[in-house]
Amino acid sequence: MAPPLEPTDPRNKLEDLSGVAVEHGANPYEALIKACHGSPADMQSLYEVHRRTRNSQQQEKFLSPEFKELILDPYLLRLENPSVEPGFRDPRNCLVFWARPPDHILKLASHVQTLLKKAAPNLYLMAPYRMHLTALEVTHSRTPEEIAGLVAAIRPAITSITNLTFARRSRLVKPLVSYDLSAIALSFLPAAGEKVLSPPPVPPHAEHIVHPGMSGESTKDSDAYTYHHLRRDVFDLVQATGVEVDSRYVVPSAHITLGRYLTQTDHDTAEARERWIQAIDDVNGWLKKEVWDVPEGEFIGEWIVGQERGLDARNGTLWYGGGRTIMQGEGF
């Protein structure tokens, strides 16, 4: 029997585990920035606390004697296997601003997918061209007509929002595999003074606004504008149009989805689940040793948001990387 067509979010709630309280009615990203007093190191630490705590919680769930089952996505199952419900169409329309990974991050993400696929052959993998980081989910699970009205309202601000990353550069570093009972992702931390490893911007480019660290200077000042600041600013620009932001969650996480579970097959015994957790730990060990802070390595784990592609304003049935682009900002 096919699983009922119900959202998985209530069963797999993504909570803020950083310990920072958000004031009701305020820009939710501002609370974390204030808690860090402008310190990129503190910001990175809180993102890491959230990431490490959530992975620890999920590991306990996988290895618990009370484990019952993975949380399979009933919408994706129907889309990937039309025999479950012939003619099914995802009714959930959304409006988002995505950050698209540059090519070197897509290369890394694809390699990590290959390693994980060996441990769980039945994983559904996100196609690289669909990969994204959600800078802001404006709204979700709406009708096309509702989304069209919201797009019309924010349209005057779309150009400035999608081009925000051209002048305001933020870096993400130290990728690790994050996971839960429904999906796996590659998560990053805001940079805090690490040496710049990204390839240089594609020429020709505006030299006067190239990320300072990319010319060999100190990243102390440039890293003061973090990815969390970018999310705050996108939120403010959208709210200024009169559109109320209705995100499902606001957490200190910067992640791109790598894959989801569509079957219990690879994890249906305690031994299989132990092997899966060990495989993830092995990949994370490799990332720390061979990718983090490794100059001229085969893989680069640093992402300067906006490199090659500006922010992508997108709407439609885009839960799994679909939908359509309204406008994409200029990359560098």
d(C-alpha 10, C-alpha 12), whole Å: 6
State the CB neighbour count (10 A cutoff) for residue 149: 11
What pLDDT does 221 receive?
A: 74
| Cα 321–Cα 27–Cα 157 angle in degrees, nearest 5 | 60
Q: Tokens representing 285?
A: 């060990």
Any idea where the domains of the chain sit in the sequence? 26-328
CA 75 distance to own-chain centroid = 20
CATH architecture label of 26-328:
Alpha-Beta Complex (3.90)
pLDDT of residue 196: 92
pLDDT of amino acid 26: 78
Overall pTM surpassing 0.85 (yes/no) = yes
Can you give the pLDDT at residue 207?
56
Are 275 and 201 in contact, with CB atoms under 8 Å apart? no
Contact call for residues 314 and 96 (beta carbons, < 8 A)? yes
Look at residue 237 in the predicted model and tell me its pLDDT: 97
Q: 183-190 and 254-260 as β-strands: parallel, antiparallel, unpaired? A: antiparallel
Whether the Cβ atoms of residue 305 and residue 312 lie closer than 8 Å to each other: no
Q: Which residues, given as ranges, of the chain have pLDDT below 70?
A: 1-3, 7-25, 205-218, 220
Is the Cβ–Cβ distance between 309 and 331 less than 8 Å? yes
